[in-house]
Structure formats: structure tokens, C-alpha cells
Amino acid sequence: MYKVVTKRFLNDAKTICLFEIEAPLIARHAQAGQFVVFRLDEKGERVPVSVAGYDREKGTVTVMVQAAGRTTKMLHTVEQGDVISDIVGPLGKATEMEGLKKVCVVGGGVGCAIAYPIAKEMHAKGIDVTFIAGFRSADIVILKDELKAASDKLIIATDDGSYGEKGFTTVFLKNEIEANIKENKPQFDRVIAIGPDIMMKFLADVTRPYGISTIISLDPIMVDGTGMCGCCRVIVGGETKFACVDGPDFDAHQVDFDSLIKRAAFYKDEQDEAAKHICRITGGKESEHEPHQGSHARAGSRDPRHQFRRGGSGL
């Protein structure tokens, strides 16, 4: 059992939630850019999520999770003091920072939560960090103060202009690159982009003509997280790579984005069906496994008897 010691929503829309979880062994070894895999209970699916922070002294790791599918929506019902069944990690390779002097970190939506610890660590190492954060609208903006503290220059943009600048991350990245050229400033050693696949694809198109090294963090469909299942395979430089062990960071100019995007949508119908599923026996009023104290909490449940109960053994 792993106890949730802190929970808080990060935006007005309450679509992204921060969880600080007791996991001393993971906290001892975690680095920026790595991820963990969690299960809510012994019957639940394995869900990979990036490490957003860690406290080695407290023995905790922090994740920031968007409520997208069924399991992540159920995770949002877990409260501070509750427990989850499993969390495994750290997995994947840490983001490489050696030798960098000036970088641009670009985050799109929840990708900013993944990019934040990378920018924070780089900034702490004395690397000049420009952070470009893109969101659809003001109500889903996250980590405003944290991103400002982790960068030398912060640009927050929304598609509709309801917060910060109006426009897309690709435009602002190109503007920053061009400004470095026109003002005879040192160019970015590297661009690190994390967000929707299509955003990362277009960001790679922006940096390619300038020959700027561009690294992206990928989160394809994944099961075991240790390279055995092959579900997270991606094509990089014409070769098959596994995001869980070879990544999650890859050279954006070598990634086959077309196959990546196609594979990401492979189980969309099943995901949509699972998200709206209501148990025919309970009518959705209780978790379908609750009589066995074995699995998912119903959405929105705050009943102290549910399986995430404080100190309970239902997981």
C-alpha cells in the first residue's frame, strides 16, 4: 500500500491533480524525465505517469495526473490519506543535461507538468532556461508560479488568448529562435518538447531547418514498463525502440510521428467505451467490484468505506 500524503487540483477546471505519494525507494533513485507505473488495486490496469517531483528526505514522489480515461478519473477520487495498491519505478532513462548552457523547454497542456521538473533541475544547474507553456484556455493553466521560478524567461500562451499571450507554442518557439539570431544572442543548445504528439511533430518541423537538437518525451501505449511486452514500440531513425527502456526521451527529428499518432489511436473506441461504462448490476451506484473490496471507486465517491479508505486493505 502506498499512502497519498498530499492532493490538490492544479487548475480551475480541476482536470489535472497533483498527488504526493509515500514511496521511499522510488524517491531515493528518481530523476527528472523518468516515470512510474501505478495500479489503484490488484485488479486495476497499469498506468504510466511521469515523475513530477520527489523528496528524498520525506521519501515521497509527486505525480500530476490529468483525468482522461477511466482509471485516471478514478484516481481523482482518491483523497489525501487514502492508499493505492502499487507504484513501481523509477522507470525509463533520465533526461540528459550534461554540457547544456541554454535550452528552450516547451510544454503543451499536461505536458507542462512533465516538463516542469526537467526545467527546474536545469535551472538549478545554472542552465539558461526559456519555458514556453501552451494551453487551450485560462481555466486549464497550471503551475504558473512554479514555471516562473524554474526558468529565466517564461511565456504562457493560450489558444483563445484568455490568459497570457494568444497563439500556439510553435509560433513562440520560432520567434525565440529568430530573436536569438537577429540579436546575435547564443542560440539554444537544445529544445525539449513535451505535449500532444501532433504538437511535438510541428515543433520538430520548426527546429529542423535551424539544426537545433530537439528532444521529445513520448508516452505511447504501455503495459509492463520494462521492455517485455513491446506495446510502447516507436520507430526512431528507422529502428524499433521501446519508450519504456530506450526512452521516454527521443530525438524528435528521428521519430516517425505518423506511425506514433496512428498507434496512439488504436484503442480509442475501447477507451471511450470503458470511460462511459456503467455496471448493469449496480447501475453505476457502486463500484462493480466493491462487494469483493477489490477495485475501482465510483466516480465522485467520497464514502469512507470505499476501497481507497485510509489504512484500508481493499486494494
- Residues 174 and 248 placed together within one structural domain of the fold: yes
Q: Is residue 190 a part of any domain in this protein? A: yes
- Residues 35 and 128 placed together within one structural domain of the fold: no
* Distance separating alpha carbons of residues 37 and 44, to the nearest angstrom: 12
Q: What's the domain range around 22? A: 2-92
Can you list the residues of the chain whose pLDDT is less than 50? 281-315
Query: What pLDDT does 295 receive?
Result: 31
CATH number, domain at 7? 2.40.30.10
Helices (H), the chain: 24-29, 70-75, 111-124, 144-149, 169-182, 197-207, 257-264, 268-276
Query: What pLDDT does 293 receive?
Result: 30
> What one-letter code names the amino acid at 209?
P
Instruction: Give the number of domains in the chain.
Output: 2
* Distance separating alpha carbons of residues 197 and 19, to the nearest angstrom: 25
Strands (E), 159-305: 165-166, 190-194, 213-217, 233-236, 239-242, 249-251
Q: Is residue 253 a part of any domain in this protein? A: yes
